[in-house]
Amino acid sequence: MDSIVIVGIGLIGGSFAKGLKRLFPESRIIGFDKDENNLSEALQLGLIDEKGTDRTLNSANMVLLAIPVDALVNELPKILDNVSDDCLVLDAGSTKAAICQSVENHPKRRNFLACHPIAGTEFSGPSAAFDGLYDGKTNIICEVEKTAFKLQEKALELFQKLGMRIRYMNPEAHDKHIAYVSHLSHISSFMLGKTVIREEQNERDIFDMAGSGFESTVRLAKSSPDMWTPIFEQNKDNVVKSLEEYIKNLESFKQLMEENDFKGIHDQMNNTNRIKQILKGIPLTKTPK
Amino acid sequence: MDSIVIVGIGLIGGSFAKGLKRLFPESRIIGFDKDENNLSEALQLGLIDEKGTDRTLNSANMVLLAIPVDALVNELPKILDNVSDDCLVLDAGSTKAAICQSVENHPKRRNFLACHPIAGTEFSGPSAAFDGLYDGKTNIICEVEKTAFKLQEKALELFQKLGMRIRYMNPEAHDKHIAYVSHLSHISSFMLGKTVIREEQNERDIFDMAGSGFESTVRLAKSSPDMWTPIFEQNKDNVVKSLEEYIKNLESFKQLMEENDFKGIHDQMNNTNRIKQILKGIPLTKTPK
């Protein structure tokens, strides 16, 4: 019987647990979480079969770390210290360079596969977890050549069964691109929320006048600061660069408006409209109601 | 038999037509559109019963103008010139001050009710129209006191039957608030799309790494430049002001990052998280598949 350990049993870890339980009903899922309430809730919800103990890691066949990226760089080396030689260790961090560096010279580096499943919702905690979160989503794998061949194979088979498609990148390219397509979106959303909340002291006004377009653009501002602060910290240089370019584009839009160059404004929007074609390929997450 | 004229038979006008046809199956819906293809498509889709002619307005009981706001300020006075004394004329423009000004001294001002239904999707054209678009949505009405009492009553009964809730505002307050909760969202989305497209010349990279969070924040960048350019032009002062504040907030976020003040970054996000509670009240548009 396979023993699968999940460290951090929130949306990401919990959804992984649900998928595994469906695929391998006979496996034993064991959870760790620094928040004892989360852990108890996960047990109650049936996401995990039991809570982990000191001796859990030793006998694990697979370990998934689904914790904030600052905790990840601290915990990953310790986890590797304690697992057996044929245990597969996976992460799900939104940054990859610092995480890969943290175990670069670890004697058990070959047990680890660096992953970033591009999946999630703006919700968090065990109750947000659902089976199907990973279906049709991309999983970005970094430094695949540093993982033992048998463990690569095991992981890929699992991802395939979960319905994921795989892309291979190096950690630096991952962190650069993800700053643009994910991290920047979160900042634009948080700051849009801040701008509107500050202007509209009387929140009823926001509520009454806001439509689904506003909801869509500020949705990510519901995200967890505990999860996102360390992501911005670890990917600081790329995020600051993307933010600079975003601000520059906003400034130039503002300038066109101030100069009454509405032909230019029209062009700006027209040129960006091709996002339609690009977006067609993005699988949307449908959370179960 | 009621004769209802819809000028501009796209998403907004077409969805209105569908709702009316359900509520008043015996009414005759007559369409105008400067794009002959749109008009023919609307006829084919059954959104309208016939195309309008020179004599249509004269016998209309109700006219809805659902055209870009620059066309609206030109067409509205001419429409009023041609309708009968008991015809109700409605608009659906995303700005209100310039539109109300355009008919301020019109002899038939009392036939007009200035409306902004907060409803829409990022799609446009007759094929995007669907019944139910207005259900549960807010309709902002401006200068209600300038509309004939009987026509107010007629309009309110109709909006109620379509499932809309009504809010009254003056045009200046409308334009100021809507800059924050709608117009600014569109700019943030367009410029986010532009930033990412420019960085990612190889569009496959965007496509593969982007998740539903990115999709959500750039969704509005699919919107029609023909519709949005005149909105930004008419609401220039308010939009520029909201954009300035947004840029200021982004700059200060960037500065906190550059100064490694991640406690400050956490606080910024934490303070904006209450958008969760605010958003709970926003009715989402579910487009039929």
Condensed to tens digits (0 to 9), the pLDDT of residues B77-87 reads: 999 999 999 99
CB of A126 closer than 8 Å to CB of A14: yes
In this structure, chain B runs to a length of 289
What does the alpha-carbon distance between residue B138 and residue B151 come to, in Å, rounded to a whole number? 19
Q: B216 — contact with chain A (CB < 8 Å)?
A: yes
- pLDDT tens for A151-186 read 999 999 999 999 999 999 999 999 999 999 999 999
The amino acid at residue B171 is P
The amino acid at residue B227 is M
Q: For residue B187, give the chain A residue with the closest CA.
A: A250
- pLDDT tens for A74-99 read 999 999 999 999 999 999 999 999 99
- pLDDT tens for B74-127 read 999 999 999 999 999 999 999 999 999 999 999 999 999 999 999 988 888 999
Residues 6+ apart with CB under 8 A from B85: B108, B111
What pLDDT shows up at residue B101? 98
Mean pLDDT of the B263-280 span: 90
What does the alpha-carbon distance between residue A201 and residue B242 come to, in Å, rounded to a whole number? 15
The nearest CA of chain B is from the CA of A158 a distance in Å of: 20
What does the alpha-carbon distance between residue B17 and residue B150 come to, in Å, rounded to a whole number? 22
- CATH architecture entry for A3-170: 3-Layer(aba) Sandwich (3.40)
Mean pLDDT of the A18-25 span: 95
Phi, psi of A69 (to 5 degrees): -65, -20
Q: Show the DSSP H helices in chain B as ranges.
A: 11-23, 36-44, 69-82, 97-102, 149-161, 171-178, 184-199, 203-209, 212-218, 225-234, 236-258, 262-272, 275-279
What pLDDT shows up at residue A278? 79
The number of beta carbons lying within 10 Å of the beta carbon of residue A25 is 7
Q: A207 — contact with chain B (CB < 8 Å)?
A: yes
Token digits of residue A194: 């801040």
What does the alpha-carbon distance between residue A29 and residue A21 come to, in Å, rounded to a whole number? 8
Label residue B199 by pLDDT band (50, 70, 90).
Answer: confident
Domain boundaries of chain A, sorted by first residue: 3-170, 174-279
* B211 three-class SS: coil
Token digits of residue B147: 């509309």
Token digits of residue B123: 């799609």
Topology of domain A174-279 in CATH is 6-phosphogluconate dehydrogenase C-terminal fold (1.10.3660)
- CATH architecture entry for B3-169: 3-Layer(aba) Sandwich (3.40)
Cβ contact B212–A167 (<8 Å): no
Mean pLDDT of the A190-219 span: 83
What does the alpha-carbon distance between residue B28 and residue B21 come to, in Å, rounded to a whole number? 8
Question: For residue A137, which residues of chain B lie inside 8 Å, CB to CB?
Answer: 211
* Topology alike, domains B3-169 and B174-279: no
What does the alpha-carbon distance between residue B270 and residue B266 come to, in Å, rounded to a whole number? 6
Q: Is B157 exposed, middle or buried (0-12, 13-18, 19+ CB in 10 A)?
A: exposed
Q: B227 — contact with chain A (CB < 8 Å)?
A: no
Q: Which residue has the tokens 């991802």?
A: A159
Q: For the packed helices A262-272 and B184-199, what is the interaxial angle rounded to 10 degrees? A: 60
Q: Which residue has the tokens 């100064």?
A: B259
Q: For residue B206, give the chain A residue with the closest CA.
A: A181
Q: A201 — contact with chain B (CB < 8 Å)?
A: no
Residue B111 DSSP class = G
Average of per-residue pLDDT values in chain A: 93
Q: Show the DSSP H helices in A47-147 as ranges.
A: 69-82, 97-102
- pLDDT tens for A246-258 read 999 999 999 999 9
What does the alpha-carbon distance between residue B51 and residue B40 come to, in Å, rounded to a whole number? 8
What pLDDT shows up at residue B289? 39
The Cα-based distances of A109 to A67, A79, A151, B238 in angstroms read 19, 11, 12, 56
Q: Which residue has the tokens 């914790």?
A: A67
CA geometry: angle at B224 spanning B182 and B73, to 5°? 75
Token digits of residue B120: 């829409």
Selected residue with higher pLDDT from B134 and B55: B134
Question: For residue B209, which residues of chain A lie inside 8 Å, CB to CB?
Answer: 118, 138, 140, 167, 177-178, 181-182
Residue B140 DSSP class = E
- pLDDT tens for B155-178 read 999 999 999 999 999 999 999 999
Size of the A and B interface in Cβ pairs below 8 Å: 305
- pLDDT tens for A239-283 read 999 999 999 999 999 999 999 999 999 999 999 998 888 777 666
Cβ contact A240–B254 (<8 Å): yes
Beta bridge partners, B139, equal: B117, B166
What does the alpha-carbon distance between residue B95 and residue B116 come to, in Å, rounded to a whole number? 8
The number of beta carbons lying within 10 Å of the beta carbon of residue A188 is 29
What pLDDT shows up at residue B278? 79
The number of beta carbons lying within 10 Å of the beta carbon of residue A232 is 27
Residue B213: which of A120, A195, A233 has the nearest Cβ? Answer: A120
What pLDDT shows up at residue A276? 84
The nearest CA of chain A is from the CA of B59 a distance in Å of: 34
Label residue A117 by pLDDT band (50, 70, 90).
Answer: very high
- pLDDT tens for B235-244 read 999 999 999 9
Q: What is the ipTM of this complex?
A: 0.91
What pLDDT shows up at residue A185? 96
What pLDDT shows up at residue A161? 97
Q: Residue A289: is its pLDDT beyond 50?
A: no
